[in-house]
Amino acid sequence: MSVDAIVIGAGFAGLYAVHRCVAAGLTVVGLEAAPSVGGTWYWNRYPGARCDVESVDYSYSFDEDLQSDWTWSERFAAQPEILAYLDHVADRFDLRRHYQFETDVVGARFDAGQWTVETSTGDRVVGRFLLCATGCLSAVNRPDIPGLDDFAGEMYYTAAWPREDPDLRGKKIGVIGTGSSGIQAVPILAEQAESLVVFQRSPNYTVPMPNYPWSSADLQRIRDEYPERRQRSAYAAAGTPHGTYHKNALDAEPGERLDAMWQRWRDGGVLFAKTFPDQTSVLEANDIARRFAEDRIREIVTDPAVAEDLIPVDHPIGTKRICTDAGYYATFNRDNVRLVNLRREPIEEITEDGVRTASATYACDVLVFATGFDALTGAMTRIDPKGPDGQRLSDIWVDGPLTFLGVMVPRLPNLFSFSGPGSPSVLANMALHAEVQVDWAIGLMVDALGRGITEVEPRRDAALAWTDGVAEAAERTLFPRAQSSWYLGANIEGKKRVFMPYAGGFGNYRKYLDDVAQRGYPGLVLTTGVAW
């Protein structure tokens, strides 16, 4: 089979890419490992899974009718509702018929002007362009802990939670991992469990999420202001309509600062990471917000020793992904919940019936691994596409990810990768991010096809310049100080430590993309050599 475009993935970016290809009159095949659409939101169906961006923003903006017909029930949508939304999008735009589901991509190579993709079903799909909408949080991190295979109880990964929700009531549950997923799951698991042990290697900052059902008045207000809301998001730092407080922390009086922080804390969610404009770039400003958050932990958690264990010590607030929770800290006041600090007592092995640390053995019927992902690069390097001269992505990225505009890779012509390194990715609203990157790729593809160009590839110097710019943008922030962060790949053994997302803001990123397109794609080599 030979098509214009092969799209890998049926999440936010993949579905939109298929839709845009069809609208542009291109033939397209979508390949998706899951049995249905949803991407990250298909797999991450663990108890408490919820998006930390408001529902009305974390949704496509490209179609007015879609936007006005769909009604979000809550301020922060839970996983089933986001999945239902993506199901609705797939049906509404008739996207499913372009997909082969339960089809893993196991390899891809470019030769004679075309990509040949190999799948787990033994098929080969040939296409001019390869659009990798493979997700930034999709390659599951399954840690290699001694004895794992000996465990006789039930084992689940939050990132690959069974479709049939397991009944965990009355069981002894151990949760390994305290990132967003663990932090969201813990309060719910604590209510179900006979006992819950939380194995924490690194504490994270988390801000309570004051979630509530949207009232009809809320929804009417949002409908009325949607155009303006979307306009503000389009060029905002994180792709949402929210900004920071109007003054730097260091320019505000202590009382004013405190009011601003309380306001943000009560509004809830990840926005606390950016209460003040200088909070992510000036340590002294960050310290003010950090100390405020730490005081809240000490206030909520009744056992002072547990509170201290829950307070991060290795990074400024917000430089690792700040989490959003529904009662996480208060969960540690329950009699059936225990926190185990793995920095003090590391896991030595998993036994048949639990977890043995350096100090004790914890009996568990169920182990829940909330151990994260090989983020941003993992999904792509696991496919490891091969270019025309035999170079693989893993060779090209041996010193860290090298991209042009976070979308293209030198030596891999006609390949686009979405929400990966070199783009704002996890620092921005994924729905709008997908639209912006896919629009850019489709614009280039249509332009190339119209001009008889058969290969488009970034020049190495252009990719180096962009990647240097990504590093410089990170250096202007406090992000690189979080040395144990998955933003730097620190959670994956052997992964090159490089700050991967573009930290210069979603709006600025979008301007770069617009500018390169408007100027006729400087930085790209456009070849007409190979006849299709």
List contacts with ligand NA7 (CB under 6 A).
137, 143, 145, 176-182, 201-202, 321, 342, 370-372, 426, 484, 486, 491
Q: How far is the CB of 338 from ligand NA7 (least distance, A)?
A: 16
Tell me the C-alpha to C-alpha distance, in Å, between residue 370 and each of 176, 185, 186, 274, 491.
Answer: 6, 9, 10, 26, 13
Q: How far is the CB of 369 from ligand NA7 (least distance, A)?
A: 8
Angstrom distance (rounded) from CA 476 to CA 263: 27
Q: How far is the CB of 182 from ligand NA7 (least distance, A)?
A: 5
User: Nearer to ligand NA7 by C-beta: 179 or 385?
Assistant: 179
* Helix-, strand-, coil-residue percentages of the chain, each rounded to 5: 35, 20, 45
Q: How far is the CB of 80 from ligand NA7 (least distance, A)?
A: 16
Angstrom distance (rounded) from CA 124 to CA 393: 20
User: Nearer to ligand NA7 by C-beta: 140 or 260?
Assistant: 140
77, 55 Cβ separation under 8 angstroms = yes
Angstrom distance (rounded) from CA 158 to CA 182: 8
User: Nearer to ligand NA7 by C-beta: 385 or 421?
Assistant: 421
Tell me the C-alpha to C-alpha distance, in Å, between residue 498 and each of 143, 254, 377, 458, 494.
Answer: 21, 36, 11, 21, 12
User: Nearer to ligand NA7 by C-beta: 368 or 396?
Assistant: 368
Q: How far is the CB of 279 from ligand NA7 (least distance, A)?
A: 18
For the sheet containing 361-363, what is the strand order?
347-351, 354-357, 361-363
User: Nearer to ligand NA7 by C-beta: 18 or 53?
Assistant: 53
Q: How far is the CB of 151 from ligand NA7 (least distance, A)?
A: 14
User: Nearer to ligand NA7 by C-beta: 22 or 145?
Assistant: 145
Q: What is the CA radius of gyration of the chain?
A: 23
Nearest residue to the partner ligand NA7, using Cβ: 179
- Rounded to 5 degrees, φ, ψ at 447 are -60, -45
Q: How far is the CB of 342 from ligand NA7 (least distance, A)?
A: 6
User: Nearer to ligand NA7 by C-beta: 96 or 338?
Assistant: 338
410, 398 Cβ separation under 8 angstroms = no
Extract the tokens encoding 245: 């407080």
